[in-house]
């Protein structure tokens, strides 16, 4: 009887643990809890044994393994940035919710020169490229954009050109 009781307690403990969802982050961390809902850019979950809801960016998560069914849901592929040459892989994020679970890096800037002959659109693209190149050089696959400023004509410089300045903060896994 004693062995039967011990076996029953072990089975109940195993069954309870199997109900826990596992969130695998690109950083290697595994979060045990319950996925509450998936939103467009974020995942809302509760840690195992807690009631408070937490949010993590989908960009930080590789996959979710659901405890009840064992179903695996691939969330995002890891973006690997090895240097400035990988600048095209860098993703610009415009909402703070999208960085939850990522590690903050340094500030990055991208701007066009004071004297240039770019139209507004090409100046914007050139500043964005410089911003992404600065983040890639730091090994950051993400940028939270904090400023996007363009000046045109006499307010820009004495030659009447235009200048675009973009600022952001780099983020890693």
Is the pTM here over 0.95, yes or no?
A: no
pLDDT at residue 112 in the model: 78
Consecutive 10-residue averages of pLDDT for the chain (173 residues) = 53 59 96 96 95 96 96 96 95 92 94 59 82 95 91 55 85 95
pLDDT at residue 163 in the model: 80
Instruction: Give the pair of three-digit tokens for residue 97.
Output: 């919710």
Instruction: Give the pair of three-digit tokens for residue 40.
Output: 């467009």
What is the DSSP track for 32-97?
EEEEEEE-SSEEEEEETT---EEEEEGGGEEEEE-TTT--EEE--PPPP--SGGGGGG-EEE-SGG
pLDDT at residue 103 in the model: 95
pLDDT at residue 113 in the model: 67
pLDDT at residue 151 in the model: 73
Q: Which residues pair with 162 in a beta bridge?
A: 152
């Amino acid at each position: 009887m004693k062995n039967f009781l011990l076996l029953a307690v072990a089975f109940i403990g195993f069954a309870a643990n199997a109900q826990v969802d596992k969130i695998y982050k690109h950083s290697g961390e595994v979060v045990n809890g319950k996925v509450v809902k998936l939103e467009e850019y974020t995942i809302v979950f509760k840690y195992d044994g807690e009631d408070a809801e937490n949010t993590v960016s989908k960009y930080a998560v590789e996959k979710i393994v659901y405890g009840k069914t064992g179903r695996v849901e691939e969330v995002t592929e890891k973006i690997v940035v090895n240097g400035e040459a990988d600048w095209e892989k860098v993703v610009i994020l415009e909402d703070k919710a999208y960085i939850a679970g990522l590690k903050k890096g340094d500030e990055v800037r991208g701007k066009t020169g004071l004297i240039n002959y770019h139209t507004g659109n090409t100046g914007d693209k050139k500043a964005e490229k410089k911003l992404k190149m600065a983040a890639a050089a730091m090994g950051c696959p993400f940028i939270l954009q904090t400023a996007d400023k363009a000046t045109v004509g006499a307010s820009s410089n004495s030659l009447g050109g235009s200048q675009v300045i973009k600022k952001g903060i780099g983020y890693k896994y």
